[in-house]
Structure 1
């Protein structure tokens, strides 16, 4: 994302340095500037509102995807709830610490597409301790990417069509869940989809949370609450729980889950997250600190169910945009507020997991699929976008088909085979550059 042109509103380049110093009181600003930017109370109000809205919408729109992904790789309701609690807590701590230190609104999130990787890998009979080992590998690779520039350059050299195809192929099975839900449960599945569609038109940010509420209400009313009483909550209560899982390092699982989880997290979360910050007026975001912090957080939280942490993209746009404050240097409190909000959400996460576990898995997967439609569309558009050479689109299409097939060969999942097939096709079809002077 390119940096937008300078705004016509007053900025540090138009005012004396002594007036626009960091922390200078608004009373020292010219009257027109004060009227344009609003007083201190108005600025604080917008910062707090942006932080809370960014955290709540980011959480509500995708936590069902996380629970679905963790359950797919064998997590019990208690283990999945533990992962949700620790992810929220780590996201809050990282956002507060890095935003306060850098005075840049840096926000963090869990890897929603990464959770879809877990759904795709769940068909291979992976145990949760083995999946935790893959989480550790993902975290270590993210830390290494931040600390070692050579690896960062290597990741950015993966062609955009291939990374988009990998993302779209991983998300496709879960994005088809709403169709399956409507076919098998026309009343419940249809109600979820209709409510989502209506809210997409009226208030898009709340479409997925509203669909989840409908699924929960139908669960409690259609069967008189019997479904909730007999659901697999395993005695899950309302207070936050932490559950330790000792990791197991299986080479095939590390390759099938750990590597795709890392690539999807980098390509669809960290890279866009940095682009959002640059586009919001921060040309030099703390990329290294953010990668090392999110990767380190994944390493610390993996035994408690954390699959992958990364830079936020959607919520970052809410907390770092000009609506928070015209001066980019005064937006960082929004991310700090968002971090505090995530700490509050951590306390509520076990209760949220208990509610979701009371709903039929098919309806939960349908809501998760609806939440991922935007990411799927973005990945597919990147894979086959106009202007790409035909050989790039062919390689991306092959990668997409192999990944979406869900095949597992020699214990290695389709995500790895799809990326390998696409890379080989890309290398084979890429035109060769003739040496200078022509053939001899």
Structure 2
């Protein structure tokens, strides 16, 4: 097995895994800390949360990617963490852990029942592609908004990307990453004073179950994770041509990982969309059959995050935000283009797909549920209305 993985690996695949972890951690780790603080977590508990989340994402990325020979990327639930940051205030940590276990159990049951996969089969591919494009377009735009605030850094990265795509397309994102580090160092934008060594240590919290907390925190966490994370995650795999990956076992696996790691702070795991798109595109590897090594690489880097705890978080925090935002946007340009092409390819579904794209890209939320879900709802409703007379 190891020999096969090494033979299929490439520098671009390893880089894609690293970029995915860099983007995933640096873009939302602050929300994780806010959620932990809301539940009254100590500093040791916060580090334990990062350790549990890194361990869960690392193991699931490695196992799923290896077993299905596809870049299956998992993540913590960022919308779920944002929900927890406001809903856990005043709730004891033990009750919060109980709510996390309840959400994990619902996820496991949903995966085992096969209901989630049956629902996703009803979603037309153009609608799913449009939803994915709507999610990712903000990252593409961030390259040029960051260019306004950090013209020298982002300008160097953008120029490197253009030249790399012209002459060394396979290594373009690697060169962008290197140029970004060099430019940040020369401009004095890397905060070396924030770096320190602190290994992660697990902290067990025994769960307590309170009905009001289960319904007020656990159930919304489950709904938000499913609608805002897992549905776009499945769309990412489908849009990249990995329809062969069965959804139900993956959903079940993330639910099981949550059940096992929740007492240590692993509050919710799910399929990734944004970071997955970095590993499923041609920038990771020109051969789709070998891109699974990018998923394995991401898993290894996530394991390092879990083992090193606060030190890795500090490392990511030392990098300028413009570097991370621009790196993500440039890495996703190809996937955004492919998603838009898939969304508008069929004339009979083009308008419904555009409605999906616009709602999702708007970022509007309602009833505490993010734009990706409402984009999907709006797109499906439009698709049904436009095609009803033809069926």
Shared fold (TM-score, shorter chain, > 0.5): yes
Residue-pair matches, total: 357
Bigger-Rg structure (1/2): 1
Is residue 2:183 matched to residue 1:215?
no
Structure 1, gaps ≥5 residues long: 1-42, 279-284, 325-331, 435-440
* In structure 2, distance between residues paired with 1:333 and 1:166: 26
User: Per residue, is there more helix in 1 or in 2?
Assistant: 2
1:400-423 deviation digits (Å, cap 9, x = unpaired): 111211223444432233222222
TM-score normalised by the chain length of structure 2: 0.69
Q: Counterpart in 2 of 1:376?
A: 336
Map Cα deviations across residues 381-407 of structure 1 (whole Å, 9 max, x no partner).
Answer: 22211x341xx2111111211121122
Q: What CA deviation, in whole Å up to 9, does each residue of 1:346-377 have, x standing for no partner?
A: 65686554332112223322212222223322
Aligned-pair CA distance for 1:184: 1.4
For 2:320, which of 330, 335, 360 is the aligned residue?
360
Change over 3 Å in CA distance of 1:211–1:84 after alignment to 2: farther
Query: Residue 102 of structure 2 contacts residue 218 of structure 2 at CA under 8 Å; is this kept in 1?
Result: no
Query: SS of 1:308's equivalent?
Result: strand
Alignment of 1:36-435 (within 5 A): 45=3, 47-51=5-9, 56-71=14-29, 73-75=31-33, 81-82=50-51, 85-91=54-60, 94-95=63-64, 99=67, 105=69, 108-110=72-74, 118=79, 126-128=83-85, 143-144=108-109, 146-223=111-188, 227-229=191-193, 237=197, 239-240=199-200, 249=217, 255-269=223-237, 274-275=242-243, 289-301=249-261, 303-304=265-266, 307-309=269-271, 314=279, 347=307, 352-385=312-345, 387-389=346-348, 392-432=349-389
CA contact (8 A) 2:17 2:298 kept: no
2: CA distance, partners of 1:290 / 1:236: 36
Paired residue for 1:17?
none
> Normalising to structure 1: TM-score of the pair?
0.63
